[in-house]
Amino acid sequence: MTYLMAIDSGNTRIKWGLHDGLAWFKQGVVLHDNRASLHQAWQDLPKPMHIIIANVAGAEAQVMLSELISCWKLQPEWMTATAYQCGVRNYYANPTLLGCDRWAGMIAAWKIQQQGCLVVNTGTAMTVDALSDTGEFLGGIIMPGLNLMQQTLTTHTALLKQEKGNFSDYPDNTADAIHSGAMQALVGAVERMATLLSATLGHVPSCIISGGASYSLHSQLNISAEIVDDLVLQGLVLIAMDNQKISTPTSINS
């Protein structure tokens, strides 16, 4: 059996999956500071024939991942965005400067939808990217994610404390007010982008969401949305197969 290792190294977490070309053999997720857990999980895996990595966590994370995968004696493919791949055209001003995780997510979303849609990733930051009905990346926004928004507010405000809050339409305590305000900002941004894309496409787009706050965000949205937890990993598999000229499966979310 031939395996492909896909690694999504975000700012907070590392998601990974071992794929056999048709379905996931095994997947996992760890925090960046839990290197021991990652080493333990990977040492019991069969050796992959190819490794592709989307890393947005900087040079230190790249060094750490390089050390961990060195046991397989493979040179990994450090993925970067391109002007065109897998049916998606990248209209970023400089295509290579588009975040590699955003690019992989859009490629996976296009495989799923095959029409215009919003691609939302709710991690440390939240990105909301727009795809046209012909697979063109029109552009997107970046803003602080749920936790970062709350942390920034409490860090720079003397009388506010970092406390766990819950969403409420009309919060009656400070913790809920902070949490609800951050969530309303995220929801508002996604729904605003959906309105803009609807006008561009001439129809209401679907929305695909991934990332750590995806379930919280999804519960508050008033638009059609689907959660795909491993969206970036799915995109990495498609990119690796395209680069190696391997026929892609009809669905890789198995």
Q: Annotated active-site positions, please?
A: 101
Instruction: Report the C-alpha gap between 80 and 232 in whole angstroms.
Output: 13
Q: Are 248 and 240 in contact (CB under 8 A)?
A: no
Instruction: Report the C-alpha gap between 117 and 120 in whole angstroms.
Output: 10
Q: Are 191 and 104 in contact (CB under 8 A)?
A: no
Q: What would the DSSP string read from start to end of 19-63?
A: E-SSSEEEEEEEETT-HHHHHHHHHTSPPPSEEEEEE-S-HHHHH
Positive or negative, the CA dihedral 69, 70, 76, 78 is positive
Residues in the chain, total: 254
